[in-house]
Structure 1
Amino acid sequence: MSDFVMPSLGADMEAATLVEWLVKPGDRVEKGQIIAVVETAKGAIDVEVFESGVVEECYVEPDTKVPVGTPLARIGSGEGVIAEPPGDVPAPTAAEVVPPEPAAEPIPSPAAPHQPEPASEPEPRSATEDGHVAASPAVRRRARELGVELGNISGSGPGGAIVLRDLEREEAGGARTESRRGGFDRDEMRRAIAASMSRAKREIPHYYLATTLDLHAAERWLEEYNRERPPEARLLMAALFMKATARALSRYPDLNGHYDERGFHLAERIDLGMAIHLRGGGLIAPALQGAEALALPELMTRLQDLVQRARRGGLRASEIGSASATVTALGERGVDTVYGVIHPPQVAMIGFGSVRRRPLAVDDMLAIRPAVDVSLAADHRVCDGHLGALFLNEIDAQLQHPEAL
């Protein structure tokens, strides 16, 4: 038996709000299953459980802000299940229950003809006993447009039929949930970024290196690879950058890890963070986990998935807090070189600028070739410029042989 606690989703995170439980007491959960949604300065994050078992009790109610490390639920064998969710209103006692007074029976008038008793009105229901959902063609058409399952909606029309106002209510509720999961407070996020970057510049002795890489071989290989593939299966140059960086980190592991009060700790694998700009002005850097072991097509798919989930909501806690080094790429914004600030407790930030056609010296001749500036911001407590230079040269060597990536 153990407690499931509010996870730390970054060095700058002190507390978060529990938005929603996705399980209830008595539910069996498996390691890695998403069981809750929490809201941080970076938006709503899906939180996984790190052991299998049965949810025995939920300690915290939704919409409660709690510090990192606070127990949220108890996971055990199932013997100690407490079924009542937190915050339930206790049932009224017998003394509190006041039965309604019976309505006075009308005194029939002797002159009035006998009136039959009105039939009792049926209880509202949306589906008949044979499973048919009561709804008009207009309601069914609108439900298809919204992607709503009519069988999950309680109808408020005659006989429990589903009417358009029921769909509008369902749509509004879904929009609120999606907004909360995908949105973020811009001011709060800017404060969190400022606090993290201020700490980084204050505590981490940065050094910076940059060089220009010839992408002639990478571009030709990429064109050949994509020629016979449909658009959804094609690779972008960003995938080659990420894979080459991961390979270089495996060769120079002193840049892949975390530095804390106990010193530097090598990471067990390469969880490569990717800085993603959020619509509305935010920034988040989820990790591409185990990047060095991913084949290029899978890496491309995972990269696109990370970007989509970062912008609409749905990132996992393990993707937020696990990055062992981070890549930032501002090439699409037209800049040649980007010098990043290291995300504590990491010790390296790698930056890629725009891919441009430039004059380069090739075999004592001048050639116009695609090239990119790559930079490194590294922690001087862990390594020196000598190792940093070797690392950038290794990225270059990897990109000169893209077929091996």
Structure 2
Amino acid sequence: MRREFKLPDVGEGLTEAEIVRWHVKAGDDVKVNQIVVEIETAKSIVELPIPWDGVVAGLMAEEGQTVDVGAPIIAVDTTEPGETPAPAAAAPAATSPTEATPAAVSGAGTESGAADRLEALADDMVPKPPAEGAVEPGAHGSPAPKEERQAVLVGYGVKTGATKRRPRRQPSPGVPANPVANPSRVEVDGPPAPEPAPAPAPAAPVPSRVAVLAKPPVRKLAKDLGVDLTAVTGTGPQGSITREDIQTAAQAPAQAPVAAPRPGEREERIPVKGVRKMTAQAMVTSAFTAPHATEFLQVDMTGTMDAVRRLRALPDFAEVKVSPLLLVAKAVLTAVGRHPMINSSWDEAAQEIVVKHYVNLGIAAATPRGLVVPNVKDAHALSLPDLARQLAQLAETARAGRTQPAEMSGGTITITNVGVFGVDGGTPILNPGESAILAFGQVRDMPWVVDGELAVRKVTTLSLSFDHRIVDGELGSLFLRDVGAMLEDPIRMLAWS
């Protein structure tokens, strides 16, 4: 039985998605819950499993194509319990005088009559589907029989099945399994000449696989961190890839692929879709809805950089990446506890300010497909080692393009680390629904006055943008001052927590 899998709505009210990469091709065997395709919605890249066992009959959308929700994207030939696969089409059978209809024997001008009668005979051999019954969600052309609860397929709800399948009607004795392969060309004066077999379709080109030298533990680490082994240069024996190579690749900032311009090309057009399109819409909405104000503060980070080095030596942080961003995040969480109004949102319909007594800390991440802002849920309740692990996992998932819509919803306040790009500061735009966002600039050596004397210190610039409907200048200044004070003297985090 051929079934068509339709593109589901994997988010909240999404209307379309782009086919990013197929994991199968026509002729491949598939199993229930096997990942067959990656799609990019307006929020993230999502992997879709197939809900049936069977053989891929064909792909109905190409990579790079944008498909509407509900449109079929892949056809699968399935085999139900008790059903054997449909036989291949047989060659046209010879028509004996006793099988030919009178209209067919009469001679010229009667071919259409013979074709109609033989088509009717072929139709009679195919069992008719039940008159009533719903169509299974995600499939086309498969009437659902009597409902029965079966195993739940993750993401597709409870699948309906049959308690008893109607047996397939067998052809009558003496009737060929495939009486007419091409009814419009029935011959009556003798056996039909065998038609040449159709030329086999050219096989799809199989992409060449690059040989990669890496041990199984290294391959597993690469999979966990979302690192493409073929893009890593090995430094081990005979060019093999080591754990250090994988960790270095995972920590490197993702760069968007840039296509080389064609000779003589003066302009290039890039379609705005997926994550980039959603980000653009969100930024426009935020910029022209919330009145933004931005304040700047230069901070001596020497104490924080010393604390980072000491944390890296502790056993609790042995397998966790400790960076200055960790202590910046902790300082923001502590400052939110001292100034709860900064962690609020504006309810336009109710004309109310909603103060959040929890912190879902967003971290803006640049990916090859655009800016995403996943958030750490209930970050205020995490210990420092747990917060470090959550930040590392968030960055790895975003870098691999696997951030899910649920991980980007519900944020309450955001940090954007522009320092990794060598930038001192800026005027960040609020993430929609939030009242504040902090930009953390690069840490670099600068002349600084310490106890009346000039010294070289580690200095950064903090930029705080806030919604001026909720946060006035005093509140924004107090919040930014407290974050800066904790970064200058990390002991204050203990005193104010």
Q: What band does the TM-score fall into relative to the shorter chain? A: 0.5 to 0.7
Check the 8 A contact 1:250/1:270 in 2, yes or no: no
Bigger helix fraction = 1
Q: Distance in 2 between matches of 1:186 and 1:325?
A: 30
In the alignment, what sits opposite 1:227? 313
TM-score, with normalisation over the residues of structure 1? 0.59
Q: Distance in 1 between matches of 2:397 and 2:362?
A: 14
In the alignment, what sits opposite 1:42? 43
- For each residue in 1:158-206, what CA deviation from the matched residue of structure 2 results, as whole angstroms up to 9, or x when unmatched? xxxxxxxxxxxxxxxxxxxxxxxxx999721333222221111211111
Check the 8 A contact 1:16/1:39 in 2, yes or no: no
In the alignment, what sits opposite 2:141? 89
Residue identity in the other structure for 2:319: E
> Cα offset for 1:283?
0.6
Q: Distance in 1 between matches of 2:331 and 2:442?
A: 17
- 1:295 aligns to 2:296 (yes or no): no
Query: What SS does structure 2 have at the residue aligned with 1:378?
Result: strand
- For each residue in 1:74-120, what CA deviation from the matched residue of structure 2 results, as whole angstroms up to 9, or x when unmatched? xxxxxxxx994442533699679897269xxxxxxxxxxxxxxxxxx
In the alignment, what sits opposite 1:128? none
- 1:273 aligns to 2:362 (yes or no): yes
- For each residue in 1:362-404, what CA deviation from the matched residue of structure 2 results, as whole angstroms up to 9, or x when unmatched? 2222221111111110001002111101001111232212573
In the alignment, what sits opposite 1:190? 276
In the alignment, what sits opposite 2:338? 251
- 1:315 aligns to 2:408 (yes or no): no
Check the 8 A contact 1:326/1:348 in 2, yes or no: yes
Per mean C-alpha deviation after superposition, the further-off stretch among 232-241 and 351-360 is 232-241
Q: Distance in 1 between matches of 2:420 and 2:334?
A: 24
- For each residue in 1:22-43, what CA deviation from the matched residue of structure 2 results, as whole angstroms up to 9, or x when unmatched? xxxxxxxxxxxxxxx9842232
Q: Distance in 2 between matches of 1:186 and 1:303?
A: 31
User: What is the correspondence of 1:74-153 to structure 2 with a 5 Å cutoff?
Assistant: 84-90=136-142, 100=177
Q: Distance in 2 between matches of 1:239 and 1:206?
A: 26
Measured at CA, do residues 311 and 205 of structure 1 come closer, stay the same or move farther in structure 2, by a change above 3 Å? same
Measured at CA, do residues 383 and 231 of structure 1 come closer, stay the same or move farther in structure 2, by a change above 3 Å? same
Check the 8 A contact 1:338/1:352 in 2, yes or no: no
In the alignment, what sits opposite 1:203? 289
Q: Distance in 1 between matches of 2:422 and 2:435?
A: 27
- For each residue in 1:298-333, what CA deviation from the matched residue of structure 2 results, as whole angstroms up to 9, or x when unmatched? 111111111111122432333211110111111111
Check the 8 A contact 2:430/2:466 in 1, yes or no: yes
The match for 1:363 among 439, 451, 467 is 451
RCO comparison, higher one (Cα < 8 Å, 6+): 1
> Cα offset for 1:338?
2.4
Point out where structure 1 has 5 or more consecutive residues left out of the alignment: 20-36, 48-61, 67-81, 103-140, 148-182
Check the 8 A contact 1:330/1:352 in 2, yes or no: yes
Q: Distance in 2 between matches of 1:277 and 1:354?
A: 16
Measured at CA, do residues 343 and 96 of structure 1 come closer, stay the same or move farther in structure 2, by a change above 3 Å? farther
Check the 8 A contact 1:46/1:317 in 2, yes or no: no
Check the 8 A contact 2:362/2:413 in 1, yes or no: yes
Residue identity in the other structure for 1:196: A
Query: Highest Rg: 1 or 2?
Result: 2
Residue identity in the other structure for 2:272: D
Per mean C-alpha deviation after superposition, the further-off stretch among 389-398 and 359-368 is 359-368
Per mean C-alpha deviation after superposition, the further-off stretch among 322-331 and 37-46 is 37-46
Residue identity in the other structure for 1:346: E
Measured at CA, do residues 38 and 271 of structure 1 come closer, stay the same or move farther in structure 2, by a change above 3 Å? farther
> Cα offset for 1:268?
3.5
Check the 8 A contact 2:464/2:480 in 1, yes or no: yes
TM-score, with normalisation over the residues of structure 2? 0.49
Query: What SS does structure 2 have at the residue aligned with 1:203?
Result: coil
Measured at CA, do residues 359 and 190 of structure 1 come closer, stay the same or move farther in structure 2, by a change above 3 Å? same
Query: What SS does structure 1 have at the residue aligned with 2:411?
Result: coil
Q: Distance in 2 between matches of 1:7 and 1:268?
A: 26
Residue identity in the other structure for 1:65: V
State the Cα RMSD in Å: 4.1
Check the 8 A contact 1:329/1:338 in 2, yes or no: no
Percent identity (aligned) = 27
Check the 8 A contact 1:46/1:315 in 2, yes or no: no
Residue identity in the other structure for 2:324: M
Residue identity in the other structure for 2:346: Y
Check the 8 A contact 2:428/2:437 in 1, yes or no: yes
Q: Distance in 2 between matches of 1:14 and 1:391?
A: 37
Measured at CA, do residues 371 and 310 of structure 1 come closer, stay the same or move farther in structure 2, by a change above 3 Å? same
Alignment: residue pair count: 281
Query: What SS does structure 2 have at the residue aligned with 1:372?
Result: strand
